[in-house]
Amino acid sequence: MICSAAPAKVILFGEHFVVKGKPAIVTAVNLYAKTCIMELESGKHLLISKQLRQETDLDKEHVPEQLAQFKRIYEIIYEKYGVIRGFKAIIDSDIPVSSGMGSSAATAVSFTHSLLRFLGVEFKLEDVNNIAYEAEKLVHGKPSGIDNTVSTFGGIIYYKRGYMEKLNVKWPQNLSLVVVDSGIKRNTGKVVMDVLERYERHEEIMKHIYVAAEQLVNKAKNLILSSRFYDLGELISINQSLLESIGVSIFETDRIIYAMIESGGLGAKISGAGRGGIVYGLFMENSLNNAIHRLKNIGYKPIIVKPVEKGVIEFHSS
């Protein structure tokens, strides 16, 4: 059995401001999408998603919409490498769906990596990234490519339209991110359009917010490169204030943020499009128990994660 695992992502800084060419900082974290592939003598090409509770035959003309990206990956690899012997692929994931943590990209990366390994062909991580990006187009239309890139290569990445830089640093062991899914689903495209419309209505004001966002991300990059991780908290909270000013913070996410700060968080903010989705907070190890208890008491299911240096990896399933 061939198995691969690809990490989720958290947007640390930036979000909406990248649409206007400003930078962002994104990290891979230790939540994973996993794919295991075994050979089938029948010659069929079957795919099962445990998380989505769906399965399909990839040779069929029409597959369930949520599994279409895997059919696209299968087709691209078939076109490039020729006949693929029969297999059954089982995909599972710890990453919350539609939360802004890159679930679709991580599953695409893990499936691509495991299928290429199953074929026994020579490939580079860049090949995995490019194929997964093509699959992401089915899910997101015009994706930035940052989700699949972070999941493929791992680490903390400074991203600006047309430019990506991996920040080669080691994350401290006594510093964690606490991630909470607000449980509120939103249409990311609509949120992005609403923000752009606000920008057009108040450009003379909004442009200063976007400049501030750029300066903030660049300062955060410098702190990270200097291993001054404990100084990131204030910048996280300032970034949240900028997101509030462009209209993407709501009561439910504010409630989570305040609970994180009151329970010892160094900083907390929305991660992603906002108006729902996830919130993350930065915590020292000695504050974690208090934070987890507080967040559970108000009805949420916090997840403790850490940035990881590696992207997609192979592993052995028992």
Residues with Cβ within 8 Å of 67's Cβ and at least 6 positions away in sequence, in order, are 47, 49, 52, 54, 56
Query: What CA–CA distance (Å, rounded) separates 4 from 212?
Result: 40
- 85 and 18, same structural domain? yes
Residues 147 and 191 in one domain: no
CATH number for position 285: 3.30.70.890
- Same domain (yes/no): 145, 206: no
- Looking at residue 1, what is its pLDDT? 93
Asked if residue 164 and residue 246 are part of one domain, the reply reads no
Phi, psi dihedrals of residue 104, rounded to the nearest 5°: -65, -40
Contact 148, 6 (CB under 8 A): no
pLDDT of residue 92: 96
CA 38 vs. chain centroid, Å, equals: 27
Give me the CATH number covering residue 146: 3.30.230.10
- Is residue 127 flagged as an active site residue? no
179 in any annotated domain: yes
The verdict on 156 and 50 lying in the same domain is: yes
Both tokens assigned to 86: 């029969």
Domain boundary among 168, 189, 209: 168
pLDDT in tens, 72-94: 999 999 999 987 999 999 999 99
Query: 174 falls in which pLDDT band (50, 70, 90)?
Result: very high
Q: Kindly state whether residues 140 and 224 are assigned to the same domain.
A: no
Q: Are residues 164 and 217 in the same domain?
A: no
The structural domain count of the chain equals: 2
The proportion of the chain whose per-residue pLDDT surpasses 90, expressed as a percent, equals: 81
- Would you say residue 250 lies in a domain? yes
Query: What is the per-residue pLDDT across 195-228, written as a single tens digit (0 to 9) for each?
Result: 999 999 999 999 999 999 999 999 999 999 999 9
Tell whether 132 is covered by a domain. Answer: yes
- Statement to judge: residues 146 and 207 lie in one domain: no
134 in the same domain as 229:
no
Q: Are residues 159 and 201 in the same domain?
A: no
Given 131, 152, 168, the domain boundary residue is 168
Length of the chain: 318
Q: What is the mean pLDDT of the chain?
A: 94
Of residues 127, 147, 181, 231, which has the active-site annotation?
Answer: 147
What is the C-alpha to C-alpha distance for residues 261 and 234, in angstroms, rounded to an integer? Answer: 11
17 lies in some domain: yes
CA dihedral 203, 205, 209, 214 (to 10 degrees): 60
Residue 178 predicted with pLDDT over 90: yes
User: Is 237 contained in some domain?
Assistant: yes
Q: Same structural domain for residues 18 and 146? A: yes
Q: Which of 136, 168, 200 is the last residue of a domain?
A: 168
The answer to whether 182 and 252 have CB atoms below 8 angstroms apart is yes
pLDDT at residue 318, as a whole number: 63
Domain interval for residue 209: 175-305
**Mean pLDDT score, 149-157:** 96
